[in-house]
Amino acid sequence: MYNKLIKPEEVIIKGNLIKKNWYGAKQLRYFELQRDGQLKYYEDMNKYKGTIKLGHTSLARKIAKNSITLKCEYKDKDYILM
């Protein structure tokens, strides 16, 4: 159960996300990582595009000073957070 002071939809971190589309082209998106393990991404600051569910086996690895690779457990995909 969540602490009453901590809301599950509370945003932990915001930034940019690089993902690949069906054709393999890289796309830059804005993301918000929420405390409940959902990563919501937007085409720009206002246009909602989708959600990436994170779980216990999702892996995050630092690849540069300001970049993290995120391996999603539900989809066999890697995302780069900046």
* Residue ranges per structural domain of the chain: 11-81
- The pTM of this model reads 0.65
At residue 68, what is the residue type? I
pLDDT-based confidence at residue 20 (cuts at 50, 70, 90): confident
**Highest CATH level, class, for 11-81:** mainly beta
Judge whether 70 and 48 are in contact, CB under 8 Å.
no
The three-state (H, E, C) secondary structure of 39-73, written as one string: EEEECCCCCEEEEEECCCCCEEEEEECCEEEEEEC
State the Cα angle at 41 between 37 and 45, rounded to 5°: 130
Judge whether 41 and 27 are in contact, CB under 8 Å.
no
For the stretch 27-60, pLDDT in tens is: 888 988 888 878 888 888 789 888 887 777 777 7
